Amino acid sequence: MNNRITSLFGIKYPIIQAGMIWCSGWRLAAAVSNAGGLGIIGAGSMYPEVLKEHIRKCRVATDRPFAVNVPLLYPNIEEIMQILVEEQVEIVFTSAGNPATWTSFLKEKGITVVHVIANKKFAVKAQNAGVDAIVAEGFEAGGHNGREETTTLCLIPMIADAVNIPVIAAGGIAGGKAMLAAFALGAEAVQVGSAFAVAEESSAHLSFKEKIIHAVEGDTKLRMKKLVPVRLLQNDFAETIAQAEAAGANADELGKLLGRARAKKGMFEGDMQEGELEIGQVSAMLREIKPAAAILEQIWQEFINEKKRISGLEI
């Protein structure tokens, strides 16, 4: 396919693997890029030296384009930005922060910049900051989420109307049917997280992957809206948070319950009860752990088949 996104990144398929803490290291990013999509290393869980190592290993593992996702809340952000420049990373996805802070720095170095947003206000702000494209991520998405709770179905057409740079749809997309719907809404690519979190090459703990493929409808909920809204799988930790929220806990109290490194504990170390398990609603449709290339191929084939089916509809 040829469109503004495939030519912006130099990729074959408009399918992007989301930057996901503790899941998307170099192995997953390289596997997705090798399969013709855009793989992303999630820097949020990486100390600067670890990120450097992952960028270098990714470059050895693929000669195709790949990107790095940097949550702008990251503590050593200056150091991370310096590494991206030194290691000649060509594409950076920024998220969870103000795009005005780093976009011009990265653009001056010739880096393609994409910013992740969940509402119209931030989409316009990102465009004004000079980003090349936007990821619009709806309510269905796992991990960090928007406060407005706008679903992907409502968000994508709203954002596509509000900006003239290309829009990448995210949140609830794990198959070709959802991808086709996103294109109908005005997106020019999709970003897929949860489906790749369970890929063989994902660095997530096997227990987390197994819990995801056994998840059913209603197993993920948006929690901690007073702190940082995140979509989580049900477990003892999520239940503790739910009870505190029902009792009216404020941001400080939620922060104390969350503590530090909960996501690592659950997603990387495999503590399925006390860890923070970030995954999207679409987990209820994921049923196997398989290679990233097979996941991408299945999305693309379903997209083509569904497009043919829709074109054949009698009106």
- 205 sits near ligand NDP (criterion: CB under 6 A): yes
CB of 280 to ligand NDP, least distance (A): 10
Tell me which of 184, 261, 294, 304 binds ligand NDP, using CB under 6 A. Answer: 261
- Of 179 and 199, CB closest to ligand NDP: 199
How many CB atoms lie under 10 A from the CB of residue 20? 28
- 213 sits near ligand NDP (criterion: CB under 6 A): no
Q: Can you spell out the DSSP letters for 170-187? A: ESS--SHHHHHHHHHTT-
3-state helix, strand, coil in the chain (%, to 5): 45, 15, 40
Strand order in the sheet with 220-223: 143-144, 230-233, 220-223
Site for ligand NDP in 115-154 (CB under 6 A): 143-144
- 263 sits near ligand NDP (criterion: CB under 6 A): yes
Tell me which of 1, 12, 36, 53 binds ligand NDP, using CB under 6 A. Answer: 53
Tell me if 170 sits within 8 A of 181, measured CB to CB.
no
Please list, in sequence order, all residues whose beta carbon lies within 8 angstroms of the beta carbon of residue 217, skipping any fewer than 6 positions away.
284
CB of 267 to ligand NDP, least distance (A): 9
Structure tokens at 127: 């465009």
- 203 sits near ligand NDP (criterion: CB under 6 A): yes
CB of 217 to ligand NDP, least distance (A): 22
CB of 28 to ligand NDP, least distance (A): 8
Question: Where along the sequence are the contacts to ligand NDP (CB under 6 A)?
Answer: 21-25, 27, 42, 44-47, 50, 53, 57, 71, 73-76, 95-96, 143-144, 203, 205-206, 260-264, 278
